[in-house]
Chain A
Amino acid sequence: MEIRVLDNNKEQGKLSFILKDSNPIFANTLRRLMIDEVPTMAIDEVEFSKNNSILYDEMIAHRLGLIPLKTDLKSYNLPEKCKCEGKGCNRCQLKLVLRATKGSGVVYASELKSKDPAVKPVFAEMPIVKLLKGQTLELEATAVLGKGKQHMKWSPCHAYYKYRPIIEITGDVKNPEAIIEVDHNNIFEIKDRKLVVNKDRVLECDLSLDYSQIDKNVKVTASDTDFVFYIESFGQLSGKEIINKAMDIFDEQLDELAEELKKAK
């Protein structure tokens, strides 16, 4: 197996790579581990001391839960795996306080004051609610580490993949214009009245068209062993952290399986 990074845009949190000499089972395992098993921090409980804004308590709590929090995986444990046995301590939960008493205006995510400077809302300018004059909002929220399989607010990324496209021109193409006309991914070009493949665009092919129906010499197939992977981080963790953590979890799960098999005999 081999991995070749195509693009790593840290600003937008986008990471794409080619997974070579693998199989669909492994590719899907990796995708599901990233979405469901990699933990992140998210607000899970909110205690309101004052809220006379137009949004109900539960609506604000729901909005707060969805706000991505920058996550530091080294300093927090999952509540069920913490030494405090789920009671709650500063190794498994974090308090955030919001006090918007200024009267009117939009309350932004940046006004959530976190007790830990490393864990704070990723996007400062997310509106939580809008207050009119005389309306106030005071609350204390508790953020915990959780997994995407329990609630999507704990999922670190949007991950998807496709089979690597293989595009071949095996002979003379009689009517190159007909191919160009339907090619919405711009993977083909005409050079000296001949149809050629634009090598830089091959991976953009979405495999949605059967070109062989237009001309038998144009073959678009999908590789069985190579995958083009796309990861779009929601901001809590970087793309690299997500993959590394997903692989660590995979190792743990395989060890666990081996242990259980030994017991079964």
Chain B
Amino acid sequence: MIIPIRCFSCGKPIAHLWESYVERVNKGEDRKKVMDELGLQRYCCRSVFLGHVDLIDTAAQFKKF
């Protein structure tokens, strides 16, 4: 849906890193390199970034009940 504010497992705040991550990955940079440089050291935080799909644009077009 939307990037979680913190890592589920360790609690590190990560949401503010998402947009620069997406921008750099879309430019063709290696995901490993980008995550290393953003300071995502543990595999828990990395998995949040690797597994996340931003669905909010699609979901927002539907009505909420």
A residues whose Cβ falls under 8 Å from a Cβ of B: 12, 52-56, 63, 66-68, 109, 122-127, 129-132, 135, 152, 155, 158, 232, 234-235
Contacts and interface: CB of A to CB of B under 8 A. Distances in A.
18 contacts: A12-B39, A52-B64, A54-B56, A54-B59, A63-B5, A109-B16, A123-B13, A124-B16, A125-B16, A126-B16, A127-B2, A130-B56, A130-B60, A135-B60, A158-B10, A158-B11, A232-B12, A234-B11
B16 A56 contact: no
B12 A132 contact: no
B3 A152 contact: no
Interface of A is mostly: loop
B13 A155 contact: no
Interface of B: 1-3, 5-6, 10-13, 15-16, 18-19, 39, 56-57, 59-62, 64
Given A124-B16, A130-B60, A135-B60, A152 B11 contact: yes
A155 B11 contact: yes
B58 to A, nearest CB: 10
A55 to B, nearest CB: 7
Contacts of B16: 109, 123-126
Given A12-B39, A126-B16, A127-B18, A54 B6 contact: no
